[in-house]
A and B are shown apart, each in its own frame.
Chain A
Amino acid sequence: MHRLESHVDTSSPTYRAYREHNLELSAELRESLRSARFDRPQRALDRLAEQQKLPVRERLELLLDRGSPFLELMPLAANRHYDGEAPQALLVTGVGVVSGREVMVIANDSSLKGGAWYPITTRKIIRALEIALENHLPVIHMLDSGGANLNLQDEIYSTAGHIFQQQCHLSARGIQQLAVVFGYCTAGAAYTPTLCDQTIMVRERGCVFLAGPPLVKAATGEENTTEELGGADMHTSVSGVADYAVDSEQEALSLARDIVGLWSRREKSDSDRRVPEDPFHDPDELYGIIPDDIKKQFEMREVIARIVDGSMFHEFKPAYGETMVTGWAFIWGFKVGIVANQGVIFSEAANKAATFMQLCDRDGIPLLFLHNVTGFMVGREYERRGITKDGAKMLMVQANVTVPKLSVLCHASQGAGNYAMAGRTWDPRFIYAWPNSRSSIMGPEQAADTMTQVRVAAMRRRGEDPSPEEIALITEEVTAYFEATYHSYYLTSDLRDDGLIDPTDTRNTLGMSLSAVLNAPIVRQPGGVLRI
């Protein structure tokens, strides 16, 4: 291994222009996160206080170990959906430390809409549980939701069943679950606390039932109070649906910490580890390295040098398939194999990446993918040399290597290149995106060109003769659609990643993610490595 050399000129006009641009994106991201977490109308906060409920952030503070890091996941969920009326999809989730144990926390935010589930809320819970399952993270459910938003029931019901099924699978795999019931758990949601190992309920406010008093009255004529029908005392002393009744949220969270403290600690999976060391090159310089335009290229080694321990890197096949950088490094002391793009993927680059992934898989080394990929090379020469065959090899290896994978969308992530680099649909354990990143099936300009050609040809076949203005309008429409839907804020809103992160937070985010993934054993794959 040797220290990567940096060739960044921090006094150049380009560096300064990039830096100014990226600092603006950074400020925008910080403000978006702050707003999604904390901006609530005063009446919403007053209502919580009336109900003697704590805001979700205060609950988290009481639950998590003081001063410990919390890796919040999908914090900008739904920021571009539902007219912004469900910030964070009214749910907070992340990996935190409780009584010294890494856990997945899933907490409803009832400050708005009674903490109702939107379709994205459902998918966010499912993703959090999937992360817990894959990485063997115990789950703490902090429940306080009015239930599904019935105006959107179709989209919710089509996926929500996974939540309860995943809870059953977690149990079978020996991954603990604890529920703290702060508010309503009605209908399907009643199964979440009931499927947990242990459940705490807050008296007078927490309740669990298949149907609340109004629905029961409508169904059978029977009249009940909430406490009679599904309150803490009834469930802990009569039905046995829950285990502990407490008087306050503070007491509930203190008891939750006690319970987690009794869970056996997990041995982390073996992985070569070193004493962590800060990067030699300053991560703050990332702002001046990342271009101000998605089409502009940059040197990915400069990024690696600002993420890894000591900026130390051992590059594999440095002179072959140069649009792919592969090699080994340590992040927060954890060994990783890095696969990073330098733009377009050629055959040699795809083959190098495939071999490198096989090497890491055989040796049990987690993989980190740093995306800046515009796709596989197109054109006559490349088709004749079988670019698709080499792309297929990379995909085949990518799909079947089983070591933990982490992905970061650093800039462009387009077309099948996104799949080959373990994009969202290729199931990396964690995937993050930088605010400058963009991801779509193809670039907006290429799509606009193609769609315009197709539509104009169709119009001409129908005997119409579109004017230049009409043609320009088609191009404009397609471009606008692409610009909106390949934007990082839109993608994170729709949970295509586990969160937008500031480039300078990449190292810490990956360090926590690597720590989390090592809770699950790494299964080494027998088999030879092909020099393809």
Chain B
Amino acid sequence: MSRPFEIGIDSERSHAVEVARHGDSATLTIDGRSYHGSLRPAGDGYELTLEDRTERVWTYVSGDTVWLHGFGACWAMSVIDPEKNLATTALSGDLASAPMPGTMINVGVAPGDAVAAGQTLVVIESMKMQSEIIAERDGIVDRVFVAVGETFDRGAPLVSLEIVAEPEEA
């Protein structure tokens, strides 16, 4: 049985890792290259055998960071959860539409304005609360559909960004 996941080392490099266990040993595939080895508890750490080499290693877990001591060095490693950011995954971001019916309170941009991802485009009010509608990508404002004070239904377009053509391969 194998399970792929991603590991970051010292918050710089990210590696695709897959572990296939067979009995006491396992085959470890890192970025497409396979290693055969085993890991046994030893004292307050582990004994790691990788191909023909055996080393003592120690780990310390703090939050979702694993500190690994061994081979005369220390690394901070983090497991990147594939489910992470699921809730914040944005759509293409060409069009910001109304999440619910409401009234336009403030329009912060005009057609032709350059906006950055995360920038507030407009503020709407609905159900006693004001929500900021945020640009999901960098771009140029194409159109603002609703003026301050006007009402709109759920799903109504509020602000669109100019469509960017996919860059062609040179």
Contact = CB atoms under 8 A, between A and B. Distances in A.
Contact of A3 (B64, B118, B131): B64
Name which of B89, B128, B130 has the most chain A CB atoms within 10 A of its CB.
Answer: B128
B127 interface: yes
B142 interface: no
Interface residues of A, number: 33
Contact of B129 (A7, A280, A296): A296
B25 interface: no
Contacts of B89: 319
Contact of A379 (B83, B101, B118, B128): B101
Given A2-B64, A2-B81, A311-B63, A377 B127 contact: yes
A374 B127 contact: yes
B87 A310 contact: no
B127 A375 contact: yes
Interface of B is mostly: loop
B3 interface: no
A2 B84 contact: yes
A297 B125 CA distance: 10
A7 B87 CA distance: 14
A75 B165 CA distance: 62
B128 A412 contact: yes
Contacts of A318: 83, 86-87
Interface residues of B, number: 21
Interface in A439-460: 442-443, 445-446
A445 B128 contact: yes
B126 interface: yes
A523 interface: no
Scoring B63, B83, B127 by chain A CB atoms within 10 A of each residue's CB, the highest score goes to B127
Interface in B119-170: 125-132, 154
A318 B86 CA distance: 7
A150 interface: no
A389 interface: no
B85 interface: yes
B100 interface: yes
Contacts of A379: 101
Contacts of A7: 118
A5 interface: yes
Contacts of B87: 315, 318-319, 322
Interface in A357-391: 374-375, 377-379, 381
Contacts of A442: 128
Contacts of B132: 297
A3 B129 CA distance: 29
A319 B86 contact: yes
A312 B129 contact: no
Interface string B35-66: 00000000000000000000000000001100
Nearest to B84: A2
A270 to B, nearest CB: 24
Contact of A412 (B81, B86, B118, B129): B129
Interface string A412-423: 101000000000
27 contacts: A2-B84, A5-B84, A7-B118, A277-B63, A293-B130, A295-B125, A295-B128, A296-B129, A296-B130, A297-B129, A297-B130, A297-B131, A318-B83, A319-B86, A343-B127, A343-B129, A343-B131, A344-B126, A374-B128, A374-B129, A378-B127, A379-B101, A412-B128, A412-B129, A442-B128, A443-B128, A445-B128
